[in-house]
Structure 1
Amino acid sequence: MIAPPGNSSPVASPFEAVLLEPLVIPGMQVEAGDPVALLYSPEYETARAEVESQRIMAEHMDHLLERALELRELGLRSAQEADEAEHDSKSAHLNLAASQRRLSAVRSAGGAGRFKLVAPASGTVASVSVAAGEAVGMSEPFLSIFDGKRYWLDVALPERVANTFSIGSSVSLPGSAGKGTVVAIDPTVDARLQSVRIKIELPTSSSWRLGQLVNLSLDTAEQETNLVIPARAIVRINGTDCVFIDTGEGFRRVEVSIITRSRDDAVLNAGVSPGDQVAVSGLAALKNLAEGV
């Protein structure tokens, strides 16, 4: 179980800092604006001083602009000089806004260089990756807040099975009233496992948790004709997968199409019908007869 993209809000420090104390732990509910971590950085005091300096500069530029406009009306300043004063005023306000945004998620904690970071959004604390006393990199997320509105399953399927699905395919979830929906299919195949990862959006009618394991049933278009037989019933003859079906008077060799198989079971979508009895013993002799040995 994972959080979909866009449903988690990372928390990062605007400065190189040291985490003095995490104020939350995974699983806690927070509201936007709640303090979540106490940190220390000497850059914090410098940033606060820069904001104050830029505020004073912006006010000064506003005064100069106002004076330039008055003098232009009196014919004592050119239009170009007034335009330059307006440009300087706007630049000063842009610099001030940029510095203020840097401190938008920061609150003073008392004491030089100490500050608190606040939650950017409401939700559940999903993770805290840094411990007290450890360094926190500038703009490197170390805490995550999950809004809990949507959940995805991340599933690895055998390539043959994955090929029977498309975006929008439904997935049954035992114990849940709703169905999941396939929202993403990895275009690459894991070379070692020959598997493909798919993402499944879970219904909001049930309660879920990040990291939870979920039983699921994949609803393919061929599901009504798919049959599960013992894997040991399958034999390989001339490069083709086959089974031997009991006809009552003997055994008939039938070629089968395997969707996927495990050590114990194999899922077929062709070759065997409901009610057919397949041989699971004496297969070596049956294979020899089929090959004319």
Structure 2
Amino acid sequence: MNKKWTVPALSGLFVVSCTAWFLWARSPTESRASTERPVQPATQLGAETLRYAEGAPQLTMIGTQAIPPSRVPLGDVLSARVTYDEDVTARIGVGVSGRIVDIKVSPGDAVKAGQVLAEIDSPDFGTAAADLNKAKADEERKRLAVERARDLVSGDAIPVKEWESMQSDLAQAHAETQRAEQRLKNLNPRGLPISGQRVKLTSPIDGVVTDRTATPALEVSPGLAAPLFVVTDPKRLWLMIDLPEKLLGRVKLKSDVSVESDAFPNQQFMAKVVQLGQVVDINTRRATVRAVLANPLQELLPEMFVRARVLQAGGMGVRVPNSAIVNHGVYAYLFVQEAPGEFRRRKIALLTQGGDASYVGEGLQGSEQVVVKGALLLDAELTARTGDKS
């Protein structure tokens, strides 16, 4: 009896277990499906407009941006480098050998013209100053001797030959004084303050200390590779633009330049061309164009790499990312949000086309909400309803 009931009992237990597992596994899926929002189709308003209901999941895949008109560049973005404005920059070194005994400033300090940056102990200055003092003393002694001898020679108290010899000695002493003065001037062409053999190194201009290689007890000499201090006006910089050969004829002096930096992604800086390149690099086929870059907030720094666009003299356009543009045959379109959830496809005329963005000349009015994300999805749905426009 037991054996006869064992197999049916096990079979029943297996069926019950499978049923329970199936119900358990299915319940989360059904629960999850019941909480998901159903995909709501767009409503077509005319041949070029789609409208989505509020809360439609498609709206999460669409992004818009208000883009104001701006000046149109001559071409695509150009590589450029920020450098010091050499017209307001002083690289300060020394013309003698010595040792730094005191440093007065640090990088970032604002200084005035004539302010002491460091003090240097220089035996060369001490020797030159001592030679000058010795020459002056010798000249003065011989001058007094000539003055005394003038009265004596007039009374025949001394021979004329001796008088002439004394005058010759005075001339030689004067020449030695001039030589010593010139040597000291050559050692100190800027006229730095000197006390004994200690030289005070001063700034020749107003500005900010942007670089300092001077360190305590550093041995210095005229042959140092780098200046001890760099003082500049950080509000004025130069922009060195690598300009393609094909654009050389279109860029003029005083052309405006728009500058962008990865360090400040939402800001635009302006520069003005002041010098055109004189030589084309044989390898890159580019010339270097120099522009003066305004940096009133001192945000940009020398040696930064930036992106530059030389602007056309006239004309305005709207710069849109290429992801916002859809093409049908020879025509270009983009989508504009005219109301919440409502998007219209518009034909546009492109002024310039770049690698990342293009400038729209016709088809937009003012700062409209341009679809910069999801344009292809909108175009696919609208095209599926109306057919390909090409």
- Which whole-Å CA distance do the structure 1 matches of 2:155 and 2:84 have between them? 64
CA distance in 2, matches of 1:121, 1:69: 51
Shift of 1:29: 1.9
The partner residue of 1:49 within 130, 134, 139 is 130
Letter matched to residue 192 of structure 2:
A
Equivalent positions of 1:9-88 (< 5 A) are 9-60=90-141, 62-63=143-144, 88=172
1:52/1:128 Cα in 2 relative to 1: closer, same or farther (>3 Å)? same
When you count strand as a share of all residues, which structure comes out higher? 2
Corresponding residue for residue 228 of structure 2? 142
User: Equivalent residue for 2:331?
Assistant: 246
Report the alpha carbon displacement of residue 187 of structure 1 after superposing the two structures with TM. Answer: 1.9
Which residue of the partner structure matches residue 25 of structure 2?
Answer: none
Q: For residues 173-231 of structure 1, give each alpha carbon's deviation from its aligned partner in whole angstroms, at most 9, with x where no partner exists.
A: 69999963211122223445443322212358x34366266776522247658988849
- In structure 2, distance between residues paired with 1:247 and 1:203: 37
Name the residue aligned to 1:119. 203
Deviations 1:152-176 (A, max 9, x none): 2223333334542122223356999
Distance of 1:43 and 1:55 partners within structure 2: 18
Q: Is 1:218 aligned to residue 310 of structure 2? A: yes
The alignment partner of 2:330 has SS state of strand
Aligned with 1:201 (options 271, 282, 292) = 292
Q: Distance in 1 between matches of 2:233 and 2:170?
A: 43
d(CA) in 2 for partners of 1:137, 1:26? 22
Q: Structure 1 residues 167, 246: CA separation in 2 closer, same or farther (over 3 Å shift)? A: closer
Greater Rg by CA:
2
Q: Structure 1 residues 37 and 13, CA, compared in 2 at 3 Å: closer, same or farther?
A: same
- AA of the residue aligned to 2:312: T
TM-fit CA distance, 1:127: 1.6
Question: Alpha carbons of 1:129 and 1:197: their partners in 2 closer, same or farther (altered >3 Å)?
Answer: farther
Separation in 2, partners of 1:16, 1:123:
26
User: 1:291 corresponds to which residue?
Assistant: none
Counterpart amino acid of residue 47 in structure 1: A
Q: Equivalent residues in 2 for 1:275-286 (5 A)? A: 275=363
* 2:277 counterpart residue number: 186
**SS of corresponding position for 2:84:** coil
**Residues 228 and 91 of structure 1, relative CA distance in 2, 3 Å threshold:** farther
Q: Provide Cα deviations, 1:109-155, integer angstroms capped at 9, x if missing partner.
A: 8xxx6544233333322221343344322265321222557432223
Question: Contact 2:128 / 2:184 at 8 angstroms: preserved in 1?
Answer: no
Task: Say if 2:208 and 2:233, in contact at 8 Å, map to a contact too.
Answer: yes
Residues 185 and 209 of structure 1, relative CA distance in 2, 3 Å threshold? farther
Q: Distance in 1 between matches of 2:240 and 2:146?
A: 58
Distance 1:209 1:65 in 2: 68
Equivalent residues of 2:145, 2:166 under 8 A apart? no
Any unmatched runs of 5+ in structure 2?
1-81, 261-265, 334-349, 364-375, 377-390
Structure 1, unmatched stretches of 5+, are 234-242, 249-255, 281-293
Q: Are the equivalent residues in 2 in contact too, given 1:2–1:210 (CA < 8 A)?
A: no
Number of aligned pairs? Answer: 250
**More displaced stretch, 206-215 vs 27-36:** 206-215
| More RCO (CA 8 Å, sep 6+) | 2
C-alpha root-mean-square deviation of aligned residues, in Å? 4.9
1:14 to 1:66, Cα distance in 2 relative to 1, 3 A: farther
Q: Note the C-alpha offset of 1:88.
A: 4.4
CA distance in structure 1 between the partners assigned to 2:230 and 2:146 by the alignment: 45
Q: Say which of 187, 212, 215 aligns to 1:131.
A: 215
Identity among equivalent pairs (%): 20
Q: 1:91 aligns with which of 153, 157, 175?
A: 175
What's the counterpart of residue 156 of structure 1?
242
Distance 1:32 1:162, change over 3 A: same
Q: Output the amino acid matched with 1:168.
A: K
Matched residue of 1:54: which SS? helix
Report the more deviating stretch, 178-187 or 62-71: 62-71
Please, what TM-score do these two structures have when normalized by structure 1? 0.60
Deviations 1:214-257 (A, max 9, x none): 776522247658988849x9xxxxxxxxx951399xxxxxxx99
CA distance in 2, matches of 1:53, 1:66: 20
Distance 2:87 2:269 in 1: 23
Separation in structure 1 between the aligned mates of residue 268 and residue 145 of structure 2, nearest angstrom: 68
TM-score, with structure 2 as normaliser: 0.48
